[in-house]
């Protein structure tokens, strides 16, 4: 398998999950601005016409896009890892519920903040939305190690990735103590440290 990524982008989530699952994979960095492969200069849109990361290229040559789908696929390749509950179980749908919430309510509210042409008024709306959504997540993390309880699962990798963007946008997650503790806990995981180092985000 090969994961196409950009350092610190949402592709960090499946990168973490691949390492947590203990699967063998290669990494290929993408220049998102140019839509080029960093090493070869190849046209990234030939791999993903959407021009976005992540992409997981399977050994069969098939390509998977969209982070929430990719992390569930990875988890299902190693069910004994416990990264996702059994398909069909209520707990599995809870995981899907969290993945959908993070992608639609957190990830997508960050998107306009990273675009220089977004009007300031809209950026403030996005910030207000993020504050409200992070407060909700904080309330759900009360008394828990992770989103699903005491076990690290795939939405935790996604939430960690998105919460890292807060500092870039000068949003202090310390105002949400449960979220801050969660982010610190995930960051300390050995496989997460490996992913962060591989992407050049820490030394």
In order, the DSSP letters of 34-88 are: TTEETTT--BGGGT-TT--S-EEE-TTS-EEESHHHHHHHHHHHSGGG-SSPPTT
The CATH number linked to 124 is 1.20.1050.10
Q: Are 141 and 98 in contact (CB under 8 A)?
A: no
pLDDT of residue 138: 98
Distance (Å) of CA 195 to CA 14, 116, 121 = 10, 28, 35
Considering its fold, how many domains does the chain have in total?
2
Q: Indicate whether 75 and 102 sit together in one domain.
A: no
Q: Rounded mean pLDDT of the chain?
A: 97
Does residue 62 come out as left (phi exceeding 0), alpha (psi in the -120 to 50 range) or beta?
A: beta
Q: Indicate whether 99 and 17 sit together in one domain.
A: no
Q: What is the mean pLDDT of residues 16-32?
A: 98
CA separation for the pair 61, 57 (Å, rounded): 6
Q: Indicate whether 77 and 98 sit together in one domain.
A: no
Q: Indicate whether 68 and 115 sit together in one domain.
A: no
Q: Indicate whether 141 and 65 sit together in one domain.
A: no
CA separation for the pair 43, 91 (Å, rounded): 40
Q: Indicate whether 23 and 74 sit together in one domain.
A: yes
Q: Indicate whether 76 and 133 sit together in one domain.
A: no
Q: Indicate whether 48 and 106 sit together in one domain.
A: no
Domain that holds residue 169: 90-189
Q: Indicate whether 18 and 103 sit together in one domain.
A: no
The CATH number linked to 67 is 3.40.30.10
Is 203 inside a domain boundary? no
Q: pTM of the prediction?
A: 0.97
pLDDT of residue 171: 96
Is 184 inside a domain boundary? yes
Q: What is the mean pLDDT of residues 109-128?
A: 96
């Amino acid at each position: 398998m090969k994961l196409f990524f950009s350092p610190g982008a949402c592709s960090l989530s499946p990168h973490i999950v691949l390492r947590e699952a203990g699967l063998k994979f290669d990494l290929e960095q993408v220049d998102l601005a140019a839509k080029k492969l960093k090493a070869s200069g190849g046209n990234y849109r030939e791999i993903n016409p959407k021009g976005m990361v992540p992409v997981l290229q399977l050994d069969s040559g098939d390509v998977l896009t969209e982070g929430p789908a990719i992390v569930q696929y990875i988890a299902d390749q190693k069910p004994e890892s416990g990264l996702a509950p059994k398909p069909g179980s209520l707990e599995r749908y809870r995981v899907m519920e969290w993945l959908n919430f993070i992608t639609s309510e957190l990830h997508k509210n960050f998107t306009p903040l990273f675009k220089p042409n977004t009007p300031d008024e809209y950026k403030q709306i996005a910030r207000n939305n993020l504050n409200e959504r992070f407060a909700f997540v904080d309330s759900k993390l009360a008394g828990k190690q992770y989103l699903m309880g005491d076990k690290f699962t795939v939405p935790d990798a996604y939430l960690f990735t998105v919460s890292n963007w807060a500092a870039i946008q000068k949003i202090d997650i310390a105002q949400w103590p449960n979220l801050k503790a969660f982010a610190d806990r995930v960051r300390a995981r050995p496989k997460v440290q490996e992913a962060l180092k591989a992407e050049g985000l820490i030394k």
